[in-house]
Amino acid sequence: MSTQQPAMQIPAHLVKELRERTGAGFSDCRAALVEANGVIDKAIEILRKKGQAAAAKKSQREASEGLVGSYIHAGGKIGVLVEINCESDFVARTEAFQNLCHDIAMHIAALDPRYVRREEVTPEMLAAERDIYRAQALATGKPEAVVEKITTGKMEKFYEENCLYEQHYIKDESVTIGEMITQAIAKLGENISIRRFVRFKVGEIGGPGAGPETAPVPAPASA
């Protein structure tokens, strides 16, 4: 006689909620909820781990297609262009990919990252930031081991504030932009990556492609 326990019955509203929060497919959400005994937060963690594993396998594949997403903030004072790559034109034309491009462009407009990934931060910039944080920690008079721990923590905060992949998404702070990309890889089945972005703000000097500041032209002298 079989002793196998019947699968847990998962209410439809829980599956719907999990799909809305993660973007994962119906069967994946239901399976995660069964594994998590109906606990939403645990199911989200299960899906994230599976998504990360799938993304890791796909991350080595070439992504040479994609789109340039754009966002203009209300009032036309801030604009963003962001290039996001995928593997095929088919995926690039899907609504899900286009929405991803728009959402990330909007996020860049709001949080103004300086880099795409932490690997892009120059050694000189890192050294300068670390020196500042270390000096601040030393000024507290704490022991050396504590100073080092404080400095390391502040460096991680620097990455979180300045690197796009490390930032928490402006519309859902429970996920980072990097995790959004991982979820998109799992959902769309292709390698996806953010290649570059540019953010313009009216009146800002020194942005990409900016020339020298133009001096005002004096009014002609009256005769």
Q: Give the CATH number, domain containing residue 146.
A: 1.10.286
In a domain, 110, yes or no: no
In a domain, 150, yes or no: yes
SS3 216: coil
In a domain, 23, yes or no: yes
In a domain, 35, yes or no: yes
Domain of residue 30, residue span? 8-58
84 vs 35, more confident: 84
In a domain, 48, yes or no: yes
pTM of the full predicted structure? Answer: 0.66
To which residue do tokens 């990330």 refer? 104
In a domain, 34, yes or no: yes
CATH of the domain at 48: 1.10.8.10
What is the model's pLDDT at position 61?
61
What is the model's pLDDT at position 215?
39
Residue-wise pLDDT for 156-182, tens only, equals 999 999 999 999 999 999 899 999 998
How buried is residue 17: exposed, middle or buried, by Cβ count under 10 Å (0-12/13-18/19+)? middle
In a domain, 178, yes or no: no
Q: Residue 68: phi, psi to the nearest 5?
A: -100, 110
What is the model's pLDDT at position 223?
39
Structure tokens at 134: 């270390």
Residue-wise pLDDT for 4-59, tens only, equals 444 568 888 888 888 777 766 777 788 888 888 888 888 888 877 776 555 555 55
Residue-wise pLDDT for 93-148, tens only, equals 999 999 999 999 999 999 999 999 999 999 999 999 999 999 998 888 888 888 88
In a domain, 133, yes or no: yes
Total domain count for the chain? 2
For residue 115, list its beta bridge partners. 163
